């Protein structure tokens, strides 16, 4: 088998959230190069248009869309638009992250703001997209984690660097591992075939 066939995503549709984040471009590029039509989405559709256009100029399939991950109604509207346009979604990349808290001393308001996106929002969009994936018994959800998902914040280990990761980021990324395992359990319960890879965790 040609190695490229192992990564052939021809006729697949992939939604990448957090479309203007630092990891969006390589993720979207890899999916598009493998044949998928990539939808790059964030709160700012205008900013998502630029990376989508760059992919299209290379003959790849990409488009931009807008949604607010802190709003369940916005998430459902995005899902419905994409299903109406493409028929189904095959891949969801949970790349969106809110970095509203800068330090341990910041207000609880900053913590709650990020939780709406990194906690409730990730769960909401995953549930919305997984519903149809589980019905079809086929689909992939990729959750972007972090080394902060698995290590204690002993900043002495980062001597000579400027590590300023706030506590809410650790909380969310640790929680993402638990949510990933939970959703994987749902996939097994739904008796997905071997083709159904509902959840993966990727470290940034």
Domain ranges of the chain: 7-152+161-203
Q: Which helix (H) or strand (E) holds 182?
A: helix 167-189
Average the pLDDT over 113-134 and give the result.
94
Question: 7-152+161-203: which CATH number, 3.40.1280.10, 3.40.50.2300, 3.40.50.720, 3.50.50.60?
Answer: 3.40.50.720
Give the tokens for residue 53: 């256009």
pLDDT at residue 192 is higher than 90: no
Average the pLDDT over 140-144 and give the result.
94
Give the tokens for residue 82: 């994409």
HSE toward the beta carbon, residue 63, CA cutoff 13 A? 9
Give the tokens for residue 172: 């969310």
User: What percent of the chain has pLDDT above 70?
Assistant: 83
Average the pLDDT over 56-79 and give the result.
97
Distance, in Å, from the CA atom of 161 to the CA atom of 149, rounded to the nearest integer, reads: 19
pTM, rounded to two decimals: 0.86
pLDDT tens per residue, range 70-105:
999 999 999 999 999 999 999 999 999 998 888 888
Q: Any idea what DSSP says for residue 36?
A: P
Q: Any idea what DSSP says for residue 116?
A: I
Specify whether the CB–CB gap between 124 and 75 falls below 8 A. Answer: yes
């Amino acid at each position: 088998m040609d190695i490229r066939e192992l990564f052939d995503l021809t006729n697949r549709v992939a939604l990448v959230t957090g479309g203007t984040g630092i990891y969006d471009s390589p993720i979207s590029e890899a999916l598009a190069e493998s044949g998928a039509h990539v939808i790059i989405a964030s709160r700012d559709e205008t900013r998502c248009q630029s990376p989508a256009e760059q992919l299209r100029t290379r003959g790849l399939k990409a488009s931009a869309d807008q949604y607010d991950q802190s709003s369940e109604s916005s998430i459902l509207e995005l899902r419905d638009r994409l299903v109406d346009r493409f028929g189904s979604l095959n891949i969801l990349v949970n790349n969106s992250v809110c970095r509203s808290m800068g330090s341990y001393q910041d207000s609880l308001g900053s913590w709650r703001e990020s939780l709406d996106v990194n906690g409730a929002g990730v769960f909401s969009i995953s549930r919305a997209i997984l519903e149809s994936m589980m019905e079809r018994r086929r689909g992939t959800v990729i959750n972007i984690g972090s080394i902060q998902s698995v290590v204690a914040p002993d900043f002495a280990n980062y001597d000579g660097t400027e590590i300023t990761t706030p506590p809410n980021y650790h909380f969310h990324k640790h929680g993402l591992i638990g949510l990933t395992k939970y959703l994987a359990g749902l996939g097994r319960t739904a008796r997905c075939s071997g083709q159904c890879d509902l959840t993966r965790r990727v470290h940034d």
